[in-house]
């Protein structure tokens, strides 16, 4: 009989203790989890890099003697770039200068004359504006374009005459860039360069109007100087 009473007392005490603990837990303030840091790529700073790509163009030749010919030169290109980005929240503004060695060339025959076009190099100085999505950057660009050209023909002289020229025009483009490492990013972009029409003389008392546009697709790698990451809650 005594043993039964002791067991009942212990069971009653245990039950009351469990009820008290449950009530205390219900009244306790909720436990807050520690904030999780989400890494966000910082596009601020200077960068430099290199690129390879492919270019093609349209060259139209016209003169007062009835010449009206077009050719579509094309070829590979490679070069480098340098620039600076300034990030304002999700927006990224910048400036970039690049230069490419070019193998863009091609020609045609018109009115019994050979016409050859070579773009030896191109260069652009552009402003960039884009939006960052963490490690992704989508941007547009526009500015000034330069091209080193070589034109040759046998239309005006017994032999072939070659003329070199530096053209100045304008460019627009767009691209996407991805930061695949703390200071490294890869980009793919398209550039359109328009150099308008310019008169070229291959012989005395001759003038040939050459109109020129160049398209280029470039794949590049950039290295950014400065701190690569910032913390965001």
What is the predicted pLDDT for the residue at 36?
42
Nearest to 105 by CA among 130, 77, 125: 77
Q: According to the model, what pLDDT value does residue 31 have?
A: 53
Q: What pLDDT, on the 0 to 100 scale, is given for residue 230? A: 44
Our CA dihedral for 10, 16, 22, 26, rounded to 10 degrees, sits at -160
Is it the case that residue 5 has pLDDT exceeding 50?
no
DSSP 162-230: EEEEEEEEEEEEEEEEEE-SSSEEEEEEEEEEEEEEEEE-SSTT--EEEEEEEEEEEEEEEEE-S--EE
Lowest mean pLDDT among 24-33, 88-97, 136-145: 24-33
pLDDT average, residue stretch 108-127: 96
Adjacent-strand bridge partners of 175: 139, 189
Say if residue 187's pLDDT is above 60.
Answer: yes
pLDDT greater than 70 at residue 113: yes
Least confident segment among 21-25, 50-54, 134-138: 21-25
Top pLDDT among 7 and 214 is at 214
Mean pLDDT of 133-162: 96
Q: Tokens in use for 165?
A: 């020229």
Q: Residue 33: what pLDDT?
A: 58
Flag the least confident range among 34-43, 131-140, 215-224. Answer: 34-43
Here the tokens at position 176 are: 């996407």
Per-chain mean pLDDT for the chain: 87
The yes-or-no verdict on residue 77 having pLDDT over 50 is yes
81: nearest Cα among 35, 143, 149: 143
pLDDT digits (tens, 9 = 90+) for 173-184: 999 999 999 999
Q: For residue 157, is pLDDT > 90?
A: yes
What pTM, to 2 d.p., does this model score? 0.80
pLDDT greater than 80 at residue 12: no
- Span 222-231, mean pLDDT? 67
Residue 21 has a pLDDT of: 42
Residue 40 pLDDT class (50, 70, 90 cuts): confident
Q: What is the pLDDT of residues 50-69, one digit of tens each?
A: 999 999 999 999 999 999 99
């Amino acid at each position: 009989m005594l043993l039964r009473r002791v067991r009942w007392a212990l069971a009653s005490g245990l039950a009351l203790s469990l009820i008290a603990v449950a009530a205390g837990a219900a009244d306790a303030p909720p436990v807050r989890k520690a904030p999780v840091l989400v890494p966000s790529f910082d596009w601020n700073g200077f960068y430099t890099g290199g690129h390879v790509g492919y270019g093609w163009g349209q060259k139209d030749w016209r003169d007062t003697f009835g010449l009206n010919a077009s050719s579509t030169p094309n070829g590979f290109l490679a070069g480098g770039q340098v620039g600076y980005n300034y990030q304002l929240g999700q927006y990224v503004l910048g400036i970039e200068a690049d230069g490419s060695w070019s193998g863009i060339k091609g020609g045609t025959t018109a009115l019994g004359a050979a016409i050859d076009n070579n773009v030896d190099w191109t260069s652009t100085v552009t402003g960039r504006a884009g939006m960052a999505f963490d490690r992704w950057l989508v941007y547009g660009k526009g500015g000034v374009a330069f091209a080193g050209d070589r034109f040759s023909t046998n239309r005006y002289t017994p032999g072939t005459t070659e003329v070199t020229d530096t053209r100045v025009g304008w460019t627009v483009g767009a691209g996407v860039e991805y930061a695949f490492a703390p200071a490294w990013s890869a980009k793919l972009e398209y550039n359109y360069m328009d150099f308008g029409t310019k008169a070229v003389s291959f012989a005395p008392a001759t003038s040939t109007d050459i109109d020129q546009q160049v398209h280029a697709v470039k794949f590049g790698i950039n290295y950014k100087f400065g701190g690569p990451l910032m913390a965001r809650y």
